Amino acid sequence: MKTLRILTVVALGSLLSFGLFAANDAPKAPAGKKAQCCVRAAADNNKACTHPCCVEAAKANKNCERCGGTNTADAPAPGKS
């Protein structure tokens, strides 16, 4: 009976630690994701987004982070090697 209790405690502890470990590896936003406003504008007859922050980001060949887009730090700018 004592062995069963010890095994139960060890099993529950293992599951708890695995749960905490898995929670730290929660998925993050994909690299290079466009902002939703830019995606909607592109879907509407291939228009460009007119938000001032998105226009400034587009001039720098980036996605607008203010509107929810993400950028990759190691990705080269388009047209450059």
Tens-of-pLDDT digits for all 81 residues of the chain? Answer: 789 899 898 888 887 777 666 665 555 556 688 889 989 988 988 888 999 999 998 888 888 989 988 887 655 555 554
What was the pLDDT predicted at 27? 55
The alpha carbon of residue 42 and the mean position of all alpha carbons in its chain are separated, in whole angstroms, by: 21
Q: Among all chains, which residue has been given the structure tokens 């998925």?
A: 27
CB-based contact 47:41 (threshold 8 Å): yes
pTM: 0.50
CB-based contact 50:41 (threshold 8 Å): yes
The full set of domain ranges for the chain reads 31-71
CB-based contact 63:57 (threshold 8 Å): yes
CB-based contact 75:32 (threshold 8 Å): yes
